[in-house]
Amino acid sequence: MSLLRQPLLALSRSAAVKKMATTLPVSSGIVARYVPGESTAEVIETVASLQAHGLRTSVDHLGEDTLDLDQAEATVRAYEEVLAASAEHGLAADGEVSVKLTAVGLALADGERVALENARRICRAARNAGSVVTIDMEDHTTTDVTLEIVQALRADFPDTGAVIQAYLHRSEDDCRALAVAGSRVRLCKGAYAEPETVAYTDRHQVDLAYVRCLRVLMQGGGHPMVATHDPRMVAIGTALARAAGRAPGSYEFQMLYGIRPQEQRRLVSEGETMRVYVPYGHEWYGYLMRRLAERPQNLSLFVKSLVAKT
């Protein structure tokens, strides 16, 4: 199955396959397994259900690589709407939102300025709602500008979270720079097709890099957010937190909606902070293909669903 990872990641940016796949209704088969809906009402219902079981949440309005200013504006308004709804339903304190900068204008002309202004709007809406923002990381070509924008946002919104992808060669140094008091840092393995010149591609090497980065974050002064579904990494994360003398709540685990829900609840039952990443919206295709790349055994389910509708 690991041989399928790179082809699936390539398909995540295929316009032809996207056009065919996105004819599926979001409620069908494999899509609904990972994306609970397209509307604000649907995602709020899901967030309420998760939080009722003691889980915290991070909502992602799907979309990336936009080259349309109006689409970037629509994405910002969608975040403002979902944050207002979270506050209205009493869900904001245990929730946050995750934002991809290319969804709010980074790839446009003068994209860094546009993305920063739009991200500021979302951070302001989050503060008004009683919530926070984490800026998602994308492929390696955007790493520097993303970290620069996070730093700029933290001047006014110091609780803005950063994301580090452990498979990049540079990430251990980035973790050292970010492991400071008050710094929220989500550590994931990485979900983009990257060249060997910038990233580890061997699974074992990626695992080792993840542990090295996690050790740096746990020993630092920030708030590590351990984003993994790997049982070994969960166990290592717990052990590193204990070795660093961390109290419950000074770090957290994060998993994607639809993946290992029983494990999510188990962690909560053991007193761990567990946050579920909840994506929603019409632009689910790229997100779904990266999830399939992480778990290629689900590909047969997706293909069956696609064939049944075409």
Q: Which residues are catalytic?
A: 136, 186
Q: Is 299 exposed, middle or buried (0-12, 13-18, 19+ CB in 10 A)?
A: middle
Alpha helices in 89-228, H assignment, sequence order: 111-129, 143-154, 171-178, 203-219
| Distance of alpha carbon 112 from alpha carbon 75, whole angstroms | 16
Place of tokens 């900068």: 101
Token pair belonging to 128: 């008004």
What 3-state DSSP class applies to 31?
helix
Asked if 140 contacts 198 with a C-beta cutoff of 8 angstroms, the reply is yes
Any idea of the CA torsion for 113, 137, 289, 78, to the nearest 10 degrees? -50
- For residues 164 and 222, what is the distance between their CA atoms, to the nearest angstrom? 13
- In sequence order, which residues have a C-beta less than 8 Å from that of residue 116 and are 6 or more positions away? 149, 152, 153
Question: What tokens appear for 266 in the block?
Answer: 């188990």
Task: With beta carbons less than 8 A apart as the criterion, state whether 82 and 40 touch.
Answer: yes
Q: Are strands 162-165 and 184-188 parallel, antiparallel or unpaired?
A: parallel
Closest of 24, 37, 29, 28 to residue 257, by C-alpha: 37
Q: DSSP letter for 135, please.
A: E
